[in-house]
Chains A and B, each alone.
Chain A
């Protein structure tokens, strides 16, 4: 471990420093992103080492600062997250080599690369940290670096506001995280995670519940759970696309890591049923609302950001179900729920990062993010189209992709609630499953829109007409993630045993033998009869059916001459104006869920003077109400501003007055002390 860790640290640091050695942007670009890619490779190996280590590997260096120890610990849970982060980091840094061309002349490639290296390093160390203080410092570094990266494009309107919003929300979260750690340190007597795990005596019940909530709020703010998600759809899309990929793909996963660490490790997995139920409810609400808002987005990257809210919800559904089962001593089911959550974690990391990279590639080619201005890109950018399609199919959870496998596992663990002893939970878990089903269907609609409107039909703008395929390095970056998506989907027999090594120590049971039937070709959570699935067979069937259809067509069509001609448009020439628009596509859904969207339609019409049957001019505007911003955040912000306005009375900006404040305070304190 020390060797690998040294390589990883050295590469990230070199990646940060090497650009300083040269002033040629091209060389800077290659050096810094190359170093990040090598570090990513080292991180992948390190992750596997962590997963297979019999004992957690630890490394500790005491420091002069009180309470702080530079302590690292690599156990299977940390290893799994290091693996996830490094995999996405590798793809993103290769992709970045081509992508930073978009910023040439505005932002130095070396600077962007150095920040990328620092960001990746801080994320990797966050999951390895084994000391509360060290963790908090790294968490802050991670948040601040990501803030700096978000405001890279600060000249574009809205980006600075998005950055500020993110900065405020993440610090509110950090405050709650600090509170959590302070509560733990009460009994542990130090900030070491080792002491958190084995305190002198268990915390009292009330404090444990407070710690549960502070952790959920603190880490939830970073993960983007509803209603703390509001910053995410602004901040994630504002960053350069490879950073968006990292933020949505892996940074929010560090919060998932921390939640599992706190609930199953520090609190030893002992908790009342309503904790799990809270996590489950938050997950269900996040999943549904995330996808519903995503549907209404026509900015490709904002759409993807809303889907991150949805997928965090799905992950929390798995983890919440696992927590509920754990409370009732159903350890194997608990392991299954947790495993489903973790499986979805790495799946979401790969396909969401892939989709963001794809969106970045489309933006690179068309210089716009508005879906309405795309169209017909598949012909112009076949590789990007293929990779985006793989990502879209995965996130929509269509078999046999990776998203399907993990969502199916979440479903299974929710259905197995029949084994729970209380009627209430027996009812609630299937309802969560129903919400998940609705979420899945809406996600499918959303990506039918995102892919269809962007890549199919005819270009709807000059930007889209002039699009060309992106450079090789960007395609390689996307290709790595697309490949990972396919492998994660087709080879659950390789992934499940790995995840089992993570959940085993947390729940106390190993389930991979039971989950995998027939040498791993079939995934069956309980018995093969109850429910089972085999993605390799499904894939084979799909391909087989396709080939069969082709063969039949050949066989039946023998002797018939194929005729190639233009698409028939009822005699009219086809134009982009005939196409379905993204707004039109989601209109029925907007109607159905009117209560959630609270849409307002503004219609302006101008008629000819002679007759009101002839329009001269018509303009339609659609708006949906962001519920949480309007009813939750704006009132709070208003109150705060009013308070600040009142405090302004003492801040008149006079040097003498400020000196007087200090003077009076000094004299009064002296008199009081004397």
Chain B
């Protein structure tokens, strides 16, 4: 392995680690607007990783994916989320299903699980990004965990988007990204999901005077 690719691989790993760290920051954060900001930051790291991979491998289409990430996940979606928060007039999450210290511990456990699961697979890979696979899985699991641990619809949406980031990183790590057409479709889906969830949160507020999804149990007869 040449000096250049070795350095590149190290850089990719560094970016991945930053992604993971931002996940932990989201889990530890009570304030909703800070969560959204952290998500934007995480997406920026993701875009950087994708751009790095594109530069190192020469796969042009990954540049496009990186650019789209910046536009949609760093700019558009956080703006939508901030608007929702503004309108709903909720700034922080006071009650959670699982409190922050316990949540951080569980997330640590999830990272271990992710590394444990991917350990037998990683040596089989030959791509310079292969180590990121474990981190990608960890991000997916943490995103999912955020959805369970938090009660407010907005943070649940952030959790969902974090999961999506994990999937994107995983795809980049395992296969240098999906075919362009698939990626475009995924971006579109995320955007639509964001819009729908924004509307849904609004309706929730109207119906229950709160964005707490635990209230949805009332829908059961």
Which A residues fall within an 8 A CB radius of B? 651-656, 659-660, 662-663, 666-667, 670-671, 673-674
Contact = CB atoms under 8 A, between A and B. Distances in A.
Given A653-B220, A654-B217, A671 B144 contact: no
Interface in B16-32: none
A667 B110 CA distance: 9
A656 B147 CA distance: 8
A671 B151 CA distance: 28
Contacts of A656: 97, 148, 151, 213-214
Contact of A663 (B97, B145, B213, B214): B145
A663 B148 contact: yes
B148 A659 contact: yes
Given A666-B141, A666-B144, A673-B117, 12 more contacts: A652-B217, A653-B216, A653-B220, A654-B217, A656-B148, A656-B214, A659-B144, A663-B145, A667-B110, A671-B117, A674-B116, A674-B120
Contacts of B121: 674
Interface string B205-221: 00000000110110110
Interface of B: 97, 110, 113, 116-121, 137, 141, 144-145, 147-148, 151, 213-214, 216-217, 219-220
B214 A654 contact: yes
Contacts of B220: 651-653
A653 B219 CA distance: 8
Contacts of A671: 113, 116-117
B148 A667 contact: no
Contact of B216 (A655, A662, A666): A655
User: Which are the 6 A-B pairs with shortest beta-carbon distances?
Assistant: A653-B220, A674-B117, A653-B217, A655-B213, A659-B148, A670-B117
Contacts of A674: 116-121
Contacts of A663: 141, 144-145, 148
Given A653-B219, A653-B220, A655-B213, A660 B148 contact: yes
A651 to B, nearest CB: 8
Contacts of A652: 217, 220
Contacts of B144: 659, 662-663, 666
Nearest to B220: A653
A655 B116 CA distance: 29
Nearest to B150: A656
Contacts of A662: 144
A667 B117 CA distance: 10
Given A659-B147, A659-B148, A667 B214 contact: no
Contacts of B119: 674
A659 B213 CA distance: 12
Contacts of B97: 656
B162 to A, nearest CB: 14
Contacts of A673: 117
Contacts of A651: 220
Contacts of B113: 667, 670-671
Nearest to B140: A666
B146 to A, nearest CB: 10
Given A654-B217, A656-B214, A674-B117, A667 B141 contact: yes
A653 B214 CA distance: 9
A654 B148 CA distance: 11
A670 B213 CA distance: 28
Nearest to B221: A653
Contacts of B116: 671, 674
Nearest to A653: B220
Contacts of A659: 144, 147-148
A667 to B, nearest CB: 6
B158 to A, nearest CB: 14
A171 B84 CA distance: 46
A360 to B, nearest CB: 38
30 contacts: A651-B220, A652-B217, A652-B220, A653-B216, A653-B220, A655-B214, A655-B216, A656-B97, A656-B148, A656-B151, A656-B213, A659-B144, A659-B147, A660-B148, A663-B141, A663-B144, A663-B145, A663-B148, A666-B144, A667-B110, A667-B113, A667-B141, A670-B117, A671-B113, A671-B116, A671-B117, A674-B117, A674-B119, A674-B120, A674-B121
A659 B113 CA distance: 19
Nearest to A648: B220
Given A659-B144, A663-B144, A667-B141, A654 B216 contact: yes
A257 to B, nearest CB: 43
Contacts of A655: 213-214, 216
A660 B220 CA distance: 18
Contacts of A670: 113, 117, 137
B66 to A, nearest CB: 28
A617 to B, nearest CB: 42
Contacts of B117: 670-671, 673-674
A673 B117 CA distance: 8
A655 B220 CA distance: 11
B165 to A, nearest CB: 17
Among B119, B121, B220, which residue has the most Cβ atoms of chain A within 10 A? B220
Among A654, A656, A671, which residue has the most Cβ atoms of chain B within 10 A? A656
